[in-house]
């Protein structure tokens, strides 16, 4: 294993080279922003640098993609009057006292009912629980809307789960498990469809190669607009 670096304009791109018994060179940009090059045994480092240099623009595009895709929502305090998102729309928190602990969406407000005085930690717990319940249904609807286009490619249908993810809006394991971040329920429906479609493209291409983007373009021609809308909605 070797550590190297190339420059592209004012940008420096560090990368790690892993040598193995393979015939071709492959460049991968990982979600944690590491650039890994898999090279044949005996390959010269200078040749590898030149190959990476030629792909610098593509590598920077992938790095920017992962940086912009990471969840980075504004910190919330869960107090009365504060706005929270649901499917791209803003709703204000309103507290009411009652024996049952419930959340109801009505008239532009999240009505959060709890016993005693308003408690921000309890409000956070109740609202997150409500989001999780809604996410299960909404994400399934999105998946059912997006899947038919991929089914025609003869791909195996993945299982789906919703959970809180720290670094991604969605992920697809090699075992065929599609995971979607509960917090994505705050985004517009078309943005949820974008994330689902993006991850389903990984059924055929596990990296972010040019072939992957061609498939994404084919499945969702306006994916870049939706991606930008997602970034703006949940920045």
Domain topology for 83-233: Zincin-like (3.30.2010)
Distance CA 34, CA 28 (A): 8
**Among the listed residues 109, 107, 73, the one whose alpha carbon sits nearest the alpha carbon of residue 93:** 109
Q: Which residues pair with 170 in a beta bridge?
A: 180
Any idea where the domains of the chain sit in the sequence? Answer: 2-69, 83-233
Predicted confidence at residue 72, as pLDDT, reads: 52
Distance CA 88, CA 176 (A): 28
pLDDT values of the chain reduced to their tens digit, one per residue, 235 residues: 677 889 888 888 999 898 888 888 989 887 667 888 999 988 999 999 999 999 999 998 888 776 655 555 557 788 989 999 999 999 999 999 998 999 999 999 999 999 888 889 999 999 999 999 999 999 999 999 999 999 999 999 999 999 998 878 999 998 899 999 999 999 999 999 999 999 999 999 988 888 999 999 999 999 989 988 888 787 5
Provide CB contacts within 8 A for 14, sequence distance 6+: 3, 4, 5, 35
Predicted confidence at residue 74, as pLDDT, reads: 59
Handedness of CA 90, 93, 96, 102 (dihedral sign): positive
Provide CB contacts within 8 A for 81, sequence distance 6+: 92, 93, 94
Q: Which residues pair with 84 in a beta bridge?
A: 91
């Amino acid at each position: 294993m070797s550590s190297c670096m190339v420059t592209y304009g004012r940008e420096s791109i560090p990368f790690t080279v892993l040598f193995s018994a393979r015939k071709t060179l492959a460049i991968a940009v990982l979600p944690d922003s590491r650039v890994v090059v898999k090279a044949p045994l005996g390959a010269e480092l200078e040749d590898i640098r030149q190959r990476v240099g030629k792909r610098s623009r593509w590598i920077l595009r992938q790095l920017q993609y992962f940086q912009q895709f990471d969840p980075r929502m504004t910190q919330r305090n869960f107090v009365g009057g504060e706005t929270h998102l649901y499917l791209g729309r803003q709703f204000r928190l309103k507290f009411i006292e009652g024996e049952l602990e419930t959340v109801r969406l009505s008239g532009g407000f999240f009505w959060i009912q709890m016993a005693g005085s308003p408690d921000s930690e309890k409000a956070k717990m109740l609202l997150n629980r409500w989001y999780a319940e809604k996410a299960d249904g909404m994400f399934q609807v999105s998946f059912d809307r997006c899947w038919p286009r991929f089914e025609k490619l003869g791909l195996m249908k993945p299982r789906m789960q919703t959970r809180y993810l720290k670094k991604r809006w969605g992920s697809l394991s090699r075992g065929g498990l599609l995971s979607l971040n509960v917090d994505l329920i705050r985004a517009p429906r078309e943005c949820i469809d974008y994330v689902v479609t993006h991850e389903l493209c990984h059924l055929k291409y596990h990296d972010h190669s040019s072939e992957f983007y061609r498939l994404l373009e084919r499945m969702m021609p306006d994916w870049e607009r939706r991606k930008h809308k997602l970034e703006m909605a949940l920045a």
